[in-house]
Structure 1
């Protein structure tokens, strides 16, 4: 554990500093007032100094767009301030300093409760909560995955307002199957400030392209629960690759996506459009020996870092973002710099937060992660405050 420094004014010395674009050698990052004041060659006089171990890397804190749960808590079951704080704390230990708590397909009252819970957590100052990700309920029953088919719904009047109820209090990300919503639905969500991704979709490609014209900008967990490339059908995967301006999240846990597919995705999308996500469930950060849980009455079993229903269906993931970075950089064909870019500056840009998050540069928020030479998390800072 790195010794705690002053929360308001300190300097961090590291052999390697990934500034969001490139790896710098032998730099001192100076923090002041919750922001980065300087990236210098030498420590400033009179400022408390935190010196990272040899070989460590200091990077922008990870930004996770898809966090279903953590610390034994599932957002669908507990959207209280305390529950959301527990999720965030569990993921902070894995290097995540900003996240979107994610609601899996549920009823409209549950959606409303989750939005208000996230708003309350933001208002209470729970560190790292950026907004909410609503994954469903407007999904394809053919690509439902572990979601509860009985909770799928048809998009109707008032749903655009419901899904964007967080308003300016935080960011809203909506995952939907474009073929399951009427023409104009994506445009209505975007007009109300939401970001929209295609996911859990069986569409051959035409409806997804129509949604792109309405403002859809991304794809949720690329390859998983979506239509694939065929000889004549583009599929969601094909559209994601064919449209260079789109973003795509991907789960690099060794179970959801094969290593060759990770390499292919990186080659075709690049580090500036491909984003690591955890798709994490309650077992992340849960220290109980039996970290199984129930999801809408179905028992979810953890075997190592693999989560499945009793029928073998993958049920989210049990990894942290640091583990995703490690997998991507050791088995997914990425350099460490590329994997770190996929974990912070790229999701910051997707969310429109790249003027304040995802970089180590003067004026940016002092949201940081220190990693050992083998990418174990040593420490995190949010707004210059180091986790105890």
Structure 2
């Protein structure tokens, strides 16, 4: 089996960020040695071998893998995670088994691409061109820069949301990554919303990821964040609260004032303030909200304008790809895809937040009943998600 890795080289001579992240992931998973050769799609050389291979195979993302075996046509894989599954199978088994894995991975990828297609024009999807732009021409003005992602107008939200509501979460994730590019930030809570991070990595498009480190998370959640970083080879930015307001609150009211005064004040300094900072350079953010999580989230839309925070532009958008999935569907996906999960789930925790404010729900309770359980059910939101409905 011969495997070619095609990477994009920027004008600076450095590999693109995604290519560097994939290289690190291959090394971490111990499969980098299975790569037979590396070729480059050089943004300053339209005739470079990498561009030629991209054109030949109709590929618009970078990096990508070409798997060749003597008794089958070349198979192209654009997902690093699917390639790793193939490579691990090849390392553990025979070449015949590896070829079967390659065919399976390619077939699964084609199926996913078809699912993400359909009526994309209705919601303005432009494919993966933001990840690997068309090669530059030698004519004047051919700068070779990736085109800016198309973004979204407020007037388009209602129609786009109606269209996306009929689609699978994987499609919604790819749509958002294509629409907003690196302007999209994925909010990772350290719980079952790791499904979104998995989908984003599978899409092979640029994104940024952050987690609110309130200073009161479970140790298990911190270990899980490290596990996810290593497993996917991604950067997860930890957004911590500004020390001054936290110190003032603790000095005045102690560490557990929320049991007497409610959680809003503590969440304000430990969650809302760092989130405002984190979203200041974003065009859109992605969350794991679902309608079945609690009564306060029963009308969550897959796409909405965020009225509670400001981003880099005049409008901040929010996309909730899991809105229409149930908890059972999320866990079915996590198990089927072999996604790592927080060990707290094995102890009965469902929704996971700060350690003092989270307990496992009791039988018959909804999954967020274990959050701020001493408060009225209508008050069990921290303020991160402002409803767009009356």
TM-score clears 0.5:
no
- TM class, shorter-length: under 0.3
* Length-normalised TM-score, structure 1: 0.27
* Length-normalised TM-score, structure 2: 0.27
Higher relative contact order (CA 8 A, sep 6+): 1
Which has more helix, going by share of residues?
Answer: 2
Higher radius of gyration, 1 or 2: 2
